[in-house]
Amino acid sequence: MNEASLLPRTAAVIVAAGQGLRAGQPLPKQFALWRGKPVVRHSAEALAAAGIAPIVVAIPENAEELARAALDGVAGVILVTGGATRQQSVRLALEVLEHDAPDRVLIHDAARPLLSRPVIERLAAALADLPAAIPVLPVVDSLAHAAGATMGAPARREDLRRVQTPQAFRFAAILAAHRAWQGAPDAGDDAQVARAAGLEVALVEGDEALHKLTFATDFGPPAPIRVGIGYDVHRLADGEELWLCGVRIDHPRGLSGHSDADVAIHALVDAVLGALGQGDIGSHFPPSDPQWRGASSDRFLSHAVLLAAQAGYRIGNVDLTIVCEAPRIGPHREAMRARLAGLLGTEVEVVSVKATTTERLGFTGRGEGIAAQAVATLLGT
């Protein structure tokens, strides 16, 4: 079955309008970082990669800035402010889709970030026969009804299933079901709304990886702090531009190297890579490769920061020392700090730029070159 027939005009709704307070995060859990990305972004990227569009994301009131930052660059995303309950949030999202109504819609909880393509395919296939389909898993533990603080009658686990999301529906049917919902103030999921409207719901195999992030322990213990040190040297030469910390400085001579020879950024890149155990700048951007000739060192630092994010780390702070007799660094220090903060994706307050001389000793003292030393601290996300 090809993709066009598997997913005919399929849209999605991601429910991300809750507060997620049990997760113990400093902001709603759907926007908290998990494995290097905001939780909601994992699902949105998986849906977009499957060719599903648009993707309507129901968010809390006054959370648009958080949501836009979390979903920046994901194709087909539409934001809508959710309602007081989950059911109301889903209905509002479905109403957004009605103008250009899709044939099918997947409704997914943002707190289930590991959404795999096979689950989507199984749900899509089931909709060929029934108006609704949900992923489920067997119950493996013994179950019993509670009679206060004591055990009541046993429950047959063979008759029960653990229900997951995304849940798939023919669009017109689930929109009508939500509009007609007359149940309790909220519904645990959209399959309940569908059943209340008389829709038959197919069961397909779920995925253990679709575990719902609920508690602080689901986000795992904080990763250990990591520290790296970087050091670099470039010689001064006539006819070259002088770049330090991504700032061009007017000076009679510049630094010579294969790239723009920004010795300060090179040291900082090595510090970040060292903290990650990812080698040095030369292993990622070899000087033998002609594509890096004259390249802006900004690209090297952005690459190192991306590697850190992919490994589940963010910049804690950086401390950079530039060693030279000239030029004077003081007049450029704040511009350097601001430029580095932008490249590192952090606040300027955690970026330190210092300068020193060697009292005219050595190659830096003789004005033959400039050296830089950097320390970078990485914090787990």
Q: The domain that contains 124 carries what CATH number?
A: 3.90.550.10
Taking the C-alpha atoms of residue 118 and residue 123, their distance in angstroms, rounded to an integer, is: 9
**Burial grade of 67 (CB within 10 A; 0-12, 13-18, 19 or more):** buried
Among 199, 219, 239, which residue terminates a domain?
Answer: 219
Which residue numbers in the chain have pLDDT < 70?
1-7, 20-26, 222, 381
Taking the C-alpha atoms of residue 249 and residue 377, their distance in angstroms, rounded to an integer, is: 27
DSSP tally for the chain: helices H, then strands E: 12, 19
45 and 30 belong to one structural domain: yes
Tokens of 314: 């963010």
Taking the C-alpha atoms of residue 305 and residue 190, their distance in angstroms, rounded to an integer, is: 40
Cβ partners under 8 Å of residue 128, min gap 6: none
Cβ contact 194:123 at 8 Å: no
Paired sense of beta strands 167-170 and 104-109, if any = antiparallel
Taking the C-alpha atoms of residue 122 and residue 8, their distance in angstroms, rounded to an integer, is: 14
Give the containing element (helix H, strand E) for 137: strand 132-138
206 and 310 belong to one structural domain: no
How large is the C-alpha radius of gyration of the chain?
27
232 and 187 belong to one structural domain: no
Cβ contact 347:292 at 8 Å: no
104-160 confidence digits (pLDDT tens): 999 999 999 999 999 999 999 999 999 999 999 999 999 888 888 899 888 889 999
Contacts 24+ apart (CB under 8 A), 39-43: 39/110, 39/111, 39/113, 39/213, 40/14, 40/16, 40/67, 40/70, 40/71, 40/110, 40/113, 41/70, 41/71, 41/74, 42/113, 42/114, 42/115, 43/14, 43/108, 43/110, 43/112, 43/113, 43/115
Taking the C-alpha atoms of residue 80 and residue 4, their distance in angstroms, rounded to an integer, is: 28
320 and 176 belong to one structural domain: no
169 and 39 belong to one structural domain: yes
198 and 140 belong to one structural domain: yes
75 and 214 belong to one structural domain: yes
Q: In the prediction, which pLDDT does 373 show?
A: 98
Among 194, 219, 244, which residue terminates a domain?
Answer: 219
Q: In the prediction, which pLDDT does 5 show?
A: 43
Query: 89 to each of 21, 188, 379, how far by Cα in Å?
Result: 18, 12, 35
Give Dmax (Cα) for the chain.
88
Q: In the prediction, which pLDDT does 109 show?
A: 97
Backbone angles phi, psi at 340, to 5 degrees: -65, -40
First to last CA, the chain: 40
Cβ partners under 8 Å of residue 11, min gap 6: 52, 53, 54, 55, 56, 97, 102, 104, 105, 106, 171
Nearest by Cα to 72 from 31, 108, 102: 31
Q: The domain that contains 278 carries what CATH number?
A: 3.30.1330.50
61 and 153 belong to one structural domain: yes
Taking the C-alpha atoms of residue 376 and residue 259, their distance in angstroms, rounded to an integer, is: 22
195 and 283 belong to one structural domain: no
247 and 198 belong to one structural domain: no
Task: Tell me how many domains the chain contains.
Answer: 2
Among 152, 184, 219, which residue terminates a domain?
Answer: 219
Give the SS3 label for residue 85: coil
DSSP letter (8 states) at residue 240: -
Q: In the prediction, which pLDDT does 20 show?
A: 57
> Which domain range does residue 206 map to?
3-219
Give the SS3 label for residue 142: coil
